[in-house]
Structure 1
Amino acid sequence: MNLEMTRGPRPLSVFLTGLALYGATEAARAQSSVTLYGLVDTAVRYTTHADTAGNDRLQLANGGLGESHWGLLGSEDIGGGNSVVFQLENRFFPNGGTSDPSYPFFNTAFVGVRSSTLGRLTLGRQVNPFASAVLRSYVTNAWLPTVYLFRPEVGMAQGVWASNMAKYTVRWQDLTMELSYAFGGAAGAFGAGSQIGASVSYAPAWPLRLGAGYLDTRDAVNSSAHFKSWTAGGAYTFGNTTVSAGWAMNREDRAYLGNAPNGPYTPAQLTALGFTQLSSREMFFGGVTQLVGTRTHVSANVWRTLQVGKTASGNGNATQFQVVADHGVSRRTSLYIEADYSLYRGGLVGAQLQGVSGVSAASGSTQLGVMGGLRHAF
């Protein structure tokens, strides 16, 4: 026996065996998982009156029925029915390979703790309760994970995501409640730039789903000025047919200028799009979706929006229609065609209801959009 080898460093194989045993022991103590997921979607789209000059546009769109994204979703069991959870998600443009400039690189970024009995507390940038209520209950084209180019009710949800947010979610059987507070972070003015939110949704497997939500955002500069939003609606499924209907209201104080650190857009962007010129905006929307076979969805939707401006020039209305046919060629890949038609009157313009990344249209115009595309989920 070589005594010098016995006293010296252990062979590499022994070290690796010990490392494997240590890893197995740690895995037994706490189970963890990380999931990579995403969606790649692009379409050829033709749009009339695609800018304020009234020009038409033919494009290979950065997204069609869905917004391309990828993300990481993770959890670790820490015992006692508790786990640590996190999510990171980036929105990107497949045509150029760049991140969507309207959002941070990680548009969703949070970490939190989930309890089997007490609910979930998450901290970071995440979907606000108002948007959660709509998505769970009565969003149009509910089978789609995201809609990029045409889902006007998203424009009523104050940007959908909020930064600096603490959100508590609790569920009792089919009833889910969310409460949130997004910190403004201003020294000496704790409420400036903050946002509070709440929602409740009833979402069993079928046939009836109901939801309601509320948001209140305070301007970071004019801290006494508020931007408030309400929503309520429901959906009912009978056989292969789903009917949905919803209502949403936005109200802004006259001094509200959009100086909120929690939203996705700058005050200059909001002003350019006319978002800060409204006193109140009310939307009614609904749709019918028919499942044909097991992989084909056919949907028709309508939106009616009424706006009162802070001045007379801000008064306006919009009526929007959409039809969609979406066929899954496999479990993860779909082909689709879509057509939408909008009429904008007075102080309402297309970008207000479709977002900065959406297709703009001038006040007083009509707009027709047609597209066909391909999306793949992973």
Structure 2
Amino acid sequence: MRHLLIGLGATAGCLFANGAYAQSSVTLYGIIDIGIQRASNVGGHAQTQETSGMFNGNRFGLRGNEDLGGGWQAVFQLENGFNGNNGTFGQGTNASGTTAAVTRIFGRMAWVGVKSPWATLSMGRQYDFMYDFASIAVSNYVGSFMHRPGTANALLGNNGSTTDFDRIGGARVDNSAKLTSAPLAGFTLGALYGFGGQAGAFSNGSTESFGLKYENGGLLANAVWTNLKEANSLSSYRTYGAGARYQFGPVRVSTMYTNARWTATGDRVDTIEFGAQYLITPAFSVAAGYFYSKPNNEKKNVIMQGTRNQVGFTTLYALSKATNVYATVDYQRAKHGYSAQIYTLSPSDAKTNHQTMVGVGLQHFF
């Protein structure tokens, strides 16, 4: 018996030693954001309703890593979006290359990868590099209603999903491999390829995305190009852009330009925007944003019709490190006789060329 106990003790010691070497960790995190909004001119009438994700999209997720030794790590992230009003899943769009509706358990992200001292390689459902603009875009200051109308989703087959025509709101790419370098002298490079998965037609339905980021002190700058090739290979949906953000003291300012183009018709939309945030106190901030979107072939453009101007203002107060209350106002005007359409409202909602949205909300981070 004594020899058996010694043997068991030695085995347990080896297991504990290996566990100490691995040093793995898993973190549960999320955002719950719900508010009350009042939108003017919805079918010709004002509408008041409870809204999920008015400032940040609701989500919960798991992220983790395991130390493999020598500066290498195994990493993963699983993230689900949900509607805070009724608890339903978010991102329940069609799967890549199919017409059948699916329920995604982790619709925002589902990937696993290996991180080295030089780069990270990840595979699964993940964002293309246009999403890097999310921290520069005016929606970062004044909420999701400063995203563009989600018309591009109806244009062509999804490889993942799109939420707005230039993809900065977070387009995910299914079946993708993504390589991101470690920062070097402030520069980070990245490349993504989403596999189309068609037999005998390797590139059909595929996605390519490339990003360059520079970060130094208070400066953050990005340049990105993304190409989604349609499943029939006849055309592509291409987006590119460049932007910068600068923080000096309590003030943060940003500017950005994006171009979205569908090669099937030659239609494109150019967007330029500006945003600023001022921290009056560490807990209280005010922010403003403006964007201008102009389509070519304005009367026939299938991406978006009508040149649009939109402004937004937000004030936010942090009750704690994890809980905020906020109020936001957005106003959009469409030119040349087209109806305004603030993000998340359907194209037929507004009956005139202008629309206003006022909202108050509460968000909690965990």
Q: Normalising to structure 1: TM-score of the pair?
A: 0.81
When structure 1 is superposed on structure 2, of 314-323 and 185-194 the one drifting more is 314-323
In the alignment, is residue 242 of structure 1 matched against residue 230 of structure 2? no
2:105 counterpart residue number:
105
Instruction: Return 5+ residue gaps in structure 2 as ranges.
Output: 94-103, 150-162
Identity of aligned residues (%): 28
SS in 1 for 2:247: strand
2:99 counterpart residue number:
none
In the alignment, is residue 219 of structure 1 matched against residue 241 of structure 2? no
2:267 counterpart residue number:
279
**Offset from partner CA, 1:297-336 (integer Å, 9 cap, x none):** 2100001000124963654211111000011010000000
- Alpha-carbon distance change, 143 to 341 in structure 1, aligned in 2, over 3 angstroms: closer
Structure with larger Rg: 1
Alignment of 1:213-362 (within 5 A): 213-221=224-232, 223-254=233-264, 279-309=267-297, 312=300, 314=302, 315-345=305-335, 354=343, 358-362=344-348
Q: Distance in 1 between matches of 2:10 and 2:67?
A: 24
1:35 counterpart residue number:
27
Counterpart of 1:225 in structure 2: which amino acid? S
Instruction: Return 5+ residue gaps in structure 1 as ranges.
Output: 1-5, 256-277
CA RMSD of aligned residues (A): 2.7
2:173 counterpart residue number:
162
Q: Distance in 2 between matches of 1:195 and 1:349?
A: 32
- Alpha-carbon distance change, 310 to 194 in structure 1, aligned in 2, over 3 angstroms: farther
SS in 1 for 2:86: coil
Counterpart of 2:306 in structure 1: which amino acid? G
Q: Distance in 2 between matches of 1:313 and 1:24?
A: 64
2:74 counterpart residue number:
84
2:357 counterpart residue number:
369
Q: Distance in 1 between matches of 2:333 and 2:291?
A: 11
**Offset from partner CA, 1:352-372 (integer Å, 9 cap, x none):** x73xxx123447531110110
1:275 counterpart residue number:
none
In the alignment, is residue 115 of structure 1 matched against residue 116 of structure 2? yes
In the alignment, is residue 64 of structure 1 matched against residue 74 of structure 2? no
Q: Distance in 2 between matches of 1:155 and 1:204?
A: 29
Counterpart of 1:21 in structure 2: which amino acid? G
Displaced runs of 4+ in structure 1, greater than 6 A?
A: none
Contact 1:307-1:348 at 8 Å conserved across structures: no
Q: Distance in 2 between matches of 1:289 and 1:196?
A: 33
Q: Distance in 1 between matches of 2:268 and 2:359?
A: 32
**Offset from partner CA, 1:16-63 (integer Å, 9 cap, x none):** x7785354122133111100000111001111133xx33432111112
Q: Normalising to structure 2: TM-score of the pair?
A: 0.83
